[in-house]
Amino acid sequence: MSDVISAPANVFPCTQCGGELHPDEGQNFLVCPFCESTVYIDKTRVVFHWYLASTLDQPKAQANLARWMGGSATIKDLDKKARLAGSSFEFFPFWVFKSKDKSDNESLWLEPAAAISVSELKNITVPAGDLRKFDESINAQAHAPTIPLPTVMEWLKPRLPADAEISETALVHIPIYTFKYTYKGDSYTAIVEGATGGVFANIFPAKAESPFRIVGGLAAFIFLCLATFPVLGALTGGNGIAIGGGLCIGLGLLSAPFLFALAVWVAAKV
Ligand SMILES: [Zn+2]
Residues in contact with 58: Cβ distance below 8 Å, sequence separation at least 6, in sequence order = 87, 89, 177
Percent of the chain exceeding pLDDT 70 equals: 93
Separation of 98 CA from ligand 1 center, angstroms? 20
Question: Is residue 200 predicted with pLDDT exceeding 50?
Answer: yes
Separation of 39 CA from ligand 1 center, angstroms? 9
Mean pLDDT for the chain? 85
Instruction: Name the residue with higher pLDDT: 208 or 112.
Output: 112
pLDDT band at 7 (very low <50, low <70, confident <90, very high): very low
pLDDT of residue 9: 58
Spatial separation of the C-alpha atoms in residues 217 and 244, rounded to whole Å: 23
pLDDT of residue 269: 66
Separation of 37 CA from ligand 1 center, angstroms? 5
The 10s digit of each residue's pLDDT in 14-73 is 988 989 988 887 788 889 999 998 899 876 788 999 999 999 999 999 999 999 999 988
Spatial separation of the C-alpha atoms in residues 241 and 227, rounded to whole Å: 11
Separation of 137 CA from ligand 1 center, angstroms? 20
Separation of 114 CA from ligand 1 center, angstroms? 27
Q: Burial of 63 by CB count in 10 Å (0-12 exposed, 13-18 middle, 19+ buried)? A: middle
* Highest mean pLDDT of the ranges 11-25, 69-83, 121-135: 69-83
> Which of 185-189, 192-196, 239-243 comes out lowest in average pLDDT?
239-243
Separation of 133 CA from ligand 1 center, angstroms? 13
Spatial separation of the C-alpha atoms in residues 103 and 243, rounded to whole Å: 73
pLDDT of residue 259: 79
Separation of 4 CA from ligand 1 center, angstroms? 14
pLDDT of residue 211: 64
pLDDT of residue 91: 97
Instruction: Name the residue with higher pLDDT: 241 or 114.
Output: 114
**DSSP letter string over 99-128?**
EE-TT--EEEEEEESS--S-GGGGG-----
Separation of 28 CA from ligand 1 center, angstroms? 15
Separation of 186 CA from ligand 1 center, angstroms? 50
Q: Burial of 185 by CB count in 10 Å (0-12 exposed, 13-18 middle, 19+ buried)? A: exposed
In the chain, domain spans: 12-200, 210-269
Bridge partners for 191 per DSSP:
178, 200
Residues in contact with 65: Cβ distance below 8 Å, sequence separation at least 6, in sequence order = 177, 179, 190, 192, 199
pLDDT band at 239 (very low <50, low <70, confident <90, very high): confident
